[in-house]
Amino acid sequence: MASYVGFLLLLFMVAKAMDVSYDGRAITFDGKRKILFSGSIHYPRSTAEMWPSLIKKAKEGGLDVIETYVFWNAHEPHYRQYDFTGNLDLVRFIKTVQNEGLKAMLRIGPYVCAEWNYGGFPVWLHNIPGIEFRTNNPQFENEMKNFTTLIVDMMNHEKLFASQGGPIILAQIENEYGNIMSSYGDDGKQYVDWCANLAQSYQIGIPWVMCQQDNAPDPMLNSCNGFYCDQFYPNSQNKPKMWTENWTGWFKNWGGQIPHRTAEDVAFAVARFFQFGGTYQNYYMYHGGTNFGRTSGGPYITTSYDYDAPLDEYGNLNQPKWGHLKKLHEVLKSIEDVLVHGHRRDVDYGNMVTATIYNYGGKSACFLGNANNSYDATINFQNNQYNVSAWSVSILPDCQQEAYSTAKVNVQTSVMVKKENEGADNDDESYNLNWHWRYEPFKQMKNGKIHGNVALSAPQLLDQKVVTNGTSDYLWYITSVNVDDNNDNIWTKKDVKLRINTNGHVLHAFVNGKHAGSQYAQNGQYQFSFETDVKLKGGNNEISLLSATVGLPNYGAFFDNVEVGIGGPIHLVTHDESGDEVVKNITQNVWNYKIGLHGENVKHYHIKNTLGWFTTGLPTDRIFTWYKTKFNSPIGNDPVVVDLSGLGKGQAWVNGNNIGRYWPSYLADENGCSPTCDFRGAYTSQKCVTGCGKPTQQWYHVPRSFLNDDDENELVLFEEMGGHPFNVKFSTVTIGKICANAYEGNTLELSCNDDQVISEVKFASFGQPQGQCGSFKKSQCEAPNTLQNLKDQCLGKSSCSVQVSEKSLGSTGCNVEQNRLAVEAVCAAIVSNYAK
């Protein structure tokens, strides 16, 4: 009987296996061509507890596939020591995707870029003798093969490839290598062939992708990454047109402004891609998330990796982007068969205006596109007249009626707010945080020597990566300089300067245990010169230099060899009696290297570490200070954030979990921001920015899974630059108000969070209202009872649906082609006088 049951189980497993193939038109599942919408959700940038909600919202947004990189340095931080626990549980993540009924694309790389520290490579890899990254090099290829095989075997063992009945339909080897391949010459070409052969050797039964790789050898699929990929075509007519990274926004840099990409422009790019034969499109990112710990790359990539994605850093819907794209997915899915099977014909109207007609099985579907960034076109198409806004695509599923325009956003805009912490045991003392503190004891009291064990000594200045192996942002460079103890010695009588050339990114200098000065790289210049006045004494002088990195480089040819740390030369400079400069070059001194900070090494951030903390005399504006405080968990389920305003630069821990680097003292340039953003015209990361003159990141995500069930939590801060913790406060992120400006003929869905209701409708006008959210104005013509109508339909409800039509809202008297409904409403927590 048991063998019979086993036989039936085997038959079931075989039946569930999926044949994934491709041709020149599309990816094919079990013989059926598909257009596929995919979204990047990187598992280490959230928590395992967040994954189900994120993936469910992605599915509700119309996605078919979830894409993720695999992060080598997260999984193998030390040579042959692996970590697949917590938010690094890759198998759990893929199974969560599967449980939601979605497919997966696994981008193994193992180079990932991703604004991730060192591009995803473990730093120990750099220190293997004779290694050269991403080229025809046996040492590198052996290590890459070892890790790639580990991941493939893991997926095979869990039967997660589609050929085994799992959700993974696509895999990727390498990443954007074509962008830099020419720098590696013939070895680069041989490396590409080696990658392709390695991938094919696994025989996993699904296609492999090499993105941004025009010379990807058959049967590897090449694909496009960028803001726009409608003009990309694969290197073979037998391969589908794929877009592996549609950049939904952009990342943030410390000291930079906050970039935004409009919903209209993202939708325009997607619609044009499918207008011109696209079949697979992936949003990078769909949820950006958070660079916890020291995972952000760059240098100078922020802890937040929000990316202005359709799901924000905390997992909230980023409206209107999420909703506008959802409607686009629905329209394109409705014409899927015509797109993947139909004959395509393009009509050029001039001035960058085109029409595209697909015909299949007696059905037609059409696109009207206008890529001019200022000219609104009126065209005659198939004996009908259509208005096509500048920088837009209109989709006509039956080639007659416009069902969707990328320029017309018919979903709400959600204005998110930070609500003050209402902790379970807090009444009104939410921000009366009681702070404990301690100095970073970097020097020993007895002899003034720097704390810590000497990792190595060398008569030269070493690259920071060589010494730390990536285990800390911090490395001490320590040497001694002996000065003759006599009254005529110019080094003790004259002013002395210490000059240091460093590859940074931050430098703190100490002479004989006293702080001599600090400096950090600015404006993208990560090599800089530091000079400060110092006082030498007769006899032995200890010079201690602390170098700090803020994310290792992650992109470019040979990025792995970019030196970080103090590269020199290092000079002591004074003047003799005649005024001539005298230089003492200490570059080739014997330097002792100590890794990390003392408090970091003994884990001051550990919640059980209670000894040695002071409760009085709290210092401020002092470098190298540790702070800690207790706080209660905010009530409810909304995402939790902490405001670190007032602090300088450092790292933060909640209950021992490193929530990332912070740097609120680094302000963005005051110029270049605008309260409005014109979606028309090609997007760049500098086009629509906000946050001028403000900290690049003020709020830091505290996942609820980091908080304790008993409500008492501990926040620990290491302050490197000097600041104060008095402005620190915890808040929750929720919807404050919702706005919309929807076109006639659509259904407008207005929605607050589940624990909120629409408590007030501040504005509603159906006609030709002017302005934008927060400053709407009525026009001379409108339906007279619109405001009361909206109140009747929506007040006291978590959500409501409004038919935007004269039949529903009343006659406007406007002599226009399309009326619009503008709404501004307030979301508030549910109270007794409102029913959900």
- pLDDT tens for each residue of 157-208: 999 999 999 999 999 999 999 999 999 999 999 999 999 999 999 999 999 9
* Burial category of 245 from C-beta neighbours within 10 Å (exposed 0-12, middle 13-18, buried 19 and up): buried
Predicted confidence at residue 423, as pLDDT, reads 61
Question: For residue 490, what are its two tokens?
Answer: 């110019």
**Residues paired with residue 26 on neighbouring β-strands, in sequence order:** none
Question: For residue 526, what are its two tokens?
Answer: 């990560």
- Are 700 and 652 in contact, with CB atoms under 8 Å apart? yes
The one catalytic residue in 67, 76, 176, 714 is: 176
Predicted confidence at residue 831, as pLDDT, reads 67
Which bin fits 605, alpha (ψ -120 to 50), beta or left (φ > 0)?
alpha
Dihedral pair phi/psi, residue 823, rounded to 5°: -140, 140
* Burial category of 123 from C-beta neighbours within 10 Å (exposed 0-12, middle 13-18, buried 19 and up): buried
| % the chain with pLDDT above 90 | 90
**Residues paired with residue 712 on neighbouring β-strands, in sequence order:** 632
Quick: pLDDT tens for 218-241: 999 999 999 999 999 999 999 999
| pLDDT band at residue 282 under the 50/70/90 scheme | very high
Alpha carbons 464 and 521: distance in angstroms, whole number: 16
Predicted confidence at residue 485, as pLDDT, reads 76
Which is higher by pLDDT, 801 or 578? 801
Active site residue 245: yes
Q: How many contiguous H segments (helices) and E segments (strands) does the chain have?
A: 14, 43
Predicted confidence at residue 493, as pLDDT, reads 84
pLDDT of 488 higher than 80 = no
Alpha carbons 739 and 755: distance in angstroms, whole number: 19
Predicted confidence at residue 101, as pLDDT, reads 97
CA nearest to 44, candidates 371, 355, 338, 305: 305
| pLDDT band at residue 441 under the 50/70/90 scheme | confident
Cα separation values, 566 from 126, 476, 477, 547, Å: 18, 10, 8, 7
| pLDDT band at residue 486 under the 50/70/90 scheme | confident
- Are 243 and 211 in contact, with CB atoms under 8 Å apart? no
**Is beta strand 729-743 parallel, antiparallel or unpaired with respect to 756-767?**
unpaired
Q: What is the mean pLDDT of the chain?
A: 94
Predicted confidence at residue 447, as pLDDT, reads 61
Local structure of 823: helix, strand or coil = strand
Active site residue 176: yes
Alpha carbons 71 and 86: distance in angstroms, whole number: 14
pLDDT of 444 higher than 80 = no
Predicted confidence at residue 504, as pLDDT, reads 85
The sheet that has 506-511: what strands, in order across it?
456-458, 591-595, 474-483, 539-548, 506-511, 514-520
- Are 334 and 360 in contact, with CB atoms under 8 Å apart? no
| pLDDT band at residue 725 under the 50/70/90 scheme | very high
Cα separation values, 675 from 253, 254, 680, 717, Å: 21, 21, 16, 34
Predicted confidence at residue 554, as pLDDT, reads 98
Predicted confidence at residue 487, as pLDDT, reads 65
Q: If you ran DSSP here, which 8-state letter would residue 101 be given?
A: T
| pLDDT band at residue 709 under the 50/70/90 scheme | confident
pLDDT of 137 higher than 90 = yes
Mean pLDDT of 340-349: 98
Question: For residue 47, what are its two tokens?
Answer: 């928590």
Predicted confidence at residue 13, as pLDDT, reads 41
| pLDDT band at residue 429 under the 50/70/90 scheme | very low
**Residues paired with residue 68 on neighbouring β-strands, in sequence order:** 106
Q: Which of 12-16, 255-259, 702-706 has the lowest mean pLDDT?
A: 12-16
The one catalytic residue in 67, 115, 245, 313 is: 245
Alpha carbons 79 and 701: distance in angstroms, whole number: 31
Predicted confidence at residue 425, as pLDDT, reads 52
Mean pLDDT of 38-55: 98
| pLDDT band at residue 448 under the 50/70/90 scheme | low
| pLDDT band at residue 74 under the 50/70/90 scheme | very high
What are the E-state strand segments in 35-113?
A: 36-41, 65-69, 103-109
- Are 660 and 652 in contact, with CB atoms under 8 Å apart? yes
